[in-house]
Amino acid sequence: QQPVQSPQAVILREGEDAVINCSSSKALYSVHWYRQKHGEAPVFLMILLKGGEQKGHEKISASFNEKKQQSSLYLTASQLSYSGTYFCGTEIPPGNTGKLIFGQGTTLQVKP
51 binds another protein (CB under 8 A): no
- Label residue 96 exposed, middle or buried (CB < 10 Å: 0-12, 13-18, 19+): exposed
42 binds another protein (CB under 8 A): yes
In 4-59, beta strands by DSSP E:
4-6, 9-13, 18-23, 30-36, 43-49, 54-57
109 binds another protein (CB under 8 A): no
101 binds another protein (CB under 8 A): yes
Q: Which residues contact another protein by CB under 8 A? A: 1-2, 30, 32, 34, 40-44, 47, 85, 87, 92, 96, 98-105, 107
